[in-house]
Structure 1
Amino acid sequence: MLPHEMIATLRDGYHALALGVRLARELLPQVDIALDQKWGPLAAAIPDPELRRQAQASLHGKRFQSEGGAAYALLPEGIHSELLTAIVALQTLADYLDNLCDRSTSRSPEDYRALHDAWLDAFSPEPPTGDYYRLHPEKDDGGYLAALVAAGRAGVLALPSYAAVAPDVRRLAALYVENQVLQHLPPSERPEALRAWHARDCGWPGLKWWEFAAASAGTIGIYALLRAATAPGLERPRIDTILERYYPWFNATNTLLDHYVDQQEDADSGDLNYIALYPAEQRDEQLAAILRRVIQEASQLPDARFHQVVARGMPALYLSEKKMQGPERRAGRKRMLRAIGVVGWALYLLVRAVRARRPSQA
């Protein structure tokens, strides 16, 4: 490594770790308050036992999704409290709806779409449609789903430049819903439905059908637009830059990493796994190449240091999971860590240290 490259790496590492420490010290305690003191008690008070079980399971099992999404509320000048509140509510909403489609009693695509009207309503200036459980077997959640929609919607609509990003946010939210509906079809129908959707609606050239599904399944691109909307007078060129850099690959990374970690679990259960659709000998290198590309894309965004920390922090988060620590995953883990570089390694060690100190994440 040349001297100027070493200096640049040390500088990037310093900023990444400084941001990581801010996330751990300043942001995570506020996420804890929102989840443990607001949404946790509301979930525990849901009258219907099945809905209560799914709400509590999503809060416990997918907590790290809210923690990761909330990073977008950490601005250079400090935490944007309204955006933090909105993102935690939105991610909790997404995770709850995912559980209702994935693990609950319904197997109806029409029900999945009706439930996800809640996700669309959270980004709409129009009054919420309500009656999200109209096709669902269980209905009495004590107002939990409506409260999540209201909290997310209030924070989103209050952003100074939300009107500028709203058309794009709502389009991306609709893609998310379509993926959720098709992703939860019966296993025998799922691949063909996703292929047909890709052929009909994919606007990104060169993507395979499962890559299009992965790009549609993520939420961080929406959060990046909401983050930009905290600034008054947001102009179209900046919005376009975010869209061009986050879609498709940046937004797909979260889903692809999740599938990478869960390969064996999905193989055992017969679930569709996007990483497994690559030839076996190419899987690690395909994902490593995507990670390198995303880091490069992040360097071309406004506030590039923040987005590069996200680009490296996502793999650091997933690679630090318990299921990635076994000897059979060592080679793949090291290959991914090489792809995200020295700064990514440092974030990986930081994430492991933070998880060891947080009982819910250990």
Structure 2
Amino acid sequence: MAKAAIPVRFIAQIYRKIFPEVRTQLLYWEKRAEEIPNRELRKQALASMRQKRFHCQGGAVFALLAGENYREAVRFIVAYQTISDYLDNLCDRSNSQDPGDFAALHEALRHCLSLHAEIPPGSEYYRFRNDKEDGGYLRELVQTCREVLRKTKHYGSMEEELLRLCTLYCALQIHKHAPVSERVPRLRSWFREHKEWASDMDWHEFSACAGSTLGIFSLVSYGLTGKMTPELARKITEGYFPYIQGFHILLDYLIDQEEDRAGGDLNFCFYYESEEIMLRRLFHFFRMAKLQAGQLPDAAFHQWIVKGLPGLYLSDGKVSRNAGLKRLAKPLIREGGWTGKFFYWQAKLYRLILNRKGKPFS
């Protein structure tokens, strides 16, 4: 049991410090979403928060890296992730398939990280769609992120890396929500432009790597300690991209295959030639992610993140209800060793508690 002492303290800090702060922030933004004048925008804002709140809970774990400034880190992470989930819903659940519309919406994420950029009127983000009046909701989320970043002493040291990860994320969102016939050709073409970053991957794996916000959360949390340097920023970016971020998103897509197939949505796991090849590649990403985590400052923390990812995703009820996913889950959880099993059972217990309270962890 001696080995488990550190993860136990890690989990205790998450429950005692991080989750209560996340709850406070989400309650505020949910209230703001309820005030959105436009019915469709209000519907998508509320749906994204209620259906994807675990993205904020999971991402906020990085706030522990900010030390005594963890509340500010949580404030940034919840606001930034809320924008990401809201825009994803607007792209996924609307009639629009206009890449120009998706690019305009995702300007908001770049403005979160660009302190010298002028924030336009909130309706400007919606300029290519009929639904525009959000009561300042999106603009306030952007301003909140910028307020936190202004409190970092060396923002200039990490600005380039933040924007590099953000640019990849936004490009992915634009391409993957384009008209169905264009999606894969656009993503293949985009991958060819960046293939030097991921020479051992195919286009769908590279796309997964771009779809995570974990590197940004790590950068901002370290930035709030006041110890950021260009060298540290580069090291964090190269630590998280591609493999840790890729492993994160591939697990997300792995458990969503059934509903994505039913909804006709793009899922990167569909492009593996067989289940055997998919499992082999997931193991490759897992092992490379652990290796990258071990080369970062606070290596134990980052390795807990990596080993905790299978537990977070594979403890989902979608897995227990699907024999194929259960078969895939077991070896992945074993690969995380005793730490991975510890996080898996913690996540199972947390889901059980929330479900009993009528608050699904989803």
Normalising by structure 2, we get a TM-score of 0.93
Match of 2:337 in 1: 341
Give the counterpart of 2:351 among 334, 355, 362.
355
Percent identity, aligned pairs only, is 35
Q: What one-letter code is carried by the residue in structure 2 that aligns with 1:97?
A: L
- With over 3 angstroms needed to count, the CA separation of the structure-2 counterparts of 1:79 and 1:288, relative to structure 1, is farther
Q: Is the 8 A contact 2:235 2:296 kept in 1?
A: yes
Cα deviation digits, residues 312-347 of structure 1 (max 9, x gap)? 122211111110112503211101101211111111
Match of 1:3 in 2: none
- The residue correspondences of 1:65-84 to structure 2 (distance < 5 A) are 65-75=55-65, 77-78=67-68, 80-84=70-74
Is 2:183 the partner of 1:187? no
Question: Displacement of 1:236 after TM fit?
Answer: 2.9
Give the counterpart of 1:129 among 120, 140, 155.
120
Using the TM superposition, name which of 56-65 and 129-138 deviates more: 129-138
Question: Displacement of 1:76 after TM fit?
Answer: 7.4
Is 2:221 the partner of 1:227? yes
Is 2:248 the partner of 1:261? no
Partner SS, residue 74 of structure 1:
helix
Give the counterpart of 1:41 among 12, 31, 34.
31
Match of 2:141 in 1: 148
- With over 3 angstroms needed to count, the CA separation of the structure-2 counterparts of 1:344 and 1:79, relative to structure 1, is farther
Cα distance in 1 for partners of 2:267, 2:181 equals 14
Match of 2:239 in 1: 245
Q: What one-letter code is carried by the residue in structure 1 that aligns with 2:6?
A: H
Partner SS, residue 180 of structure 2:
coil
Is 2:48 the partner of 1:61? no
Cα distance in 2 for partners of 1:247, 1:327 equals 30
Using the TM superposition, name which of 173-182 and 265-274 deviates more: 265-274
Q: Is the 8 A contact 1:122 1:150 kept in 2?
A: yes
Cα distance in 2 for partners of 1:17, 1:290 equals 26
Is 2:106 the partner of 1:116? yes
Cα deviation digits, residues 93-128 of structure 1 (max 9, x gap)? 111011111112322111111011111100011221
Q: Is the 8 A contact 1:115 1:133 kept in 2?
A: yes
Question: Displacement of 1:228 after TM fit?
Answer: 1.9
Match of 2:6 in 1: 15
Match of 1:317 in 2: 312
Question: Displacement of 1:233 after TM fit?
Answer: 4.1
Q: Is the 8 A contact 2:69 2:224 kept in 1?
A: no
Q: Is the 8 A contact 1:214 1:252 kept in 2?
A: yes
Q: Is the 8 A contact 2:108 2:125 kept in 1?
A: yes
Give the counterpart of 2:132 among 136, 139, 155.
139
Q: Is the 8 A contact 2:22 2:78 kept in 1?
A: yes
Partner SS, residue 122 of structure 1:
helix
Q: Is the 8 A contact 1:276 1:283 kept in 2?
A: no
Using the TM superposition, name which of 146-155 and 271-280 deviates more: 271-280
Match of 2:298 in 1: 303
Cα distance in 2 for partners of 1:306, 1:117 equals 32
Partner SS, residue 188 of structure 1:
helix
Cα distance in 2 for partners of 1:304, 1:274 equals 29
Partner SS, residue 189 of structure 1:
helix
Cα distance in 1 for partners of 2:129, 2:145 equals 22
Structure 2 portions without partners, runs of 5+: none
Give the counterpart of 1:166 among 159, 168, 172.
159
Q: What one-letter code is carried by the residue in structure 2 that aligns with 1:134?
A: R
Normalising by structure 1, we get a TM-score of 0.93
Cα distance in 2 for partners of 1:321, 1:108 equals 33
- With over 3 angstroms needed to count, the CA separation of the structure-2 counterparts of 1:160 and 1:76, relative to structure 1, is closer
Cα distance in 1 for partners of 2:69, 2:6 equals 17
Q: Is the 8 A contact 1:117 1:129 kept in 2?
A: no
Is 2:269 the partner of 1:275? yes
Using the TM superposition, name which of 74-83 and 342-351 deviates more: 74-83
Match of 1:96 in 2: 86
Q: What one-letter code is carried by the residue in structure 1 that aligns with 2:156?
A: A
Cα distance in 1 for partners of 2:115, 2:77 equals 17
Partner SS, residue 116 of structure 1:
helix
Match of 1:105 in 2: 95
Cα distance in 1 for partners of 2:110, 2:227 equals 25
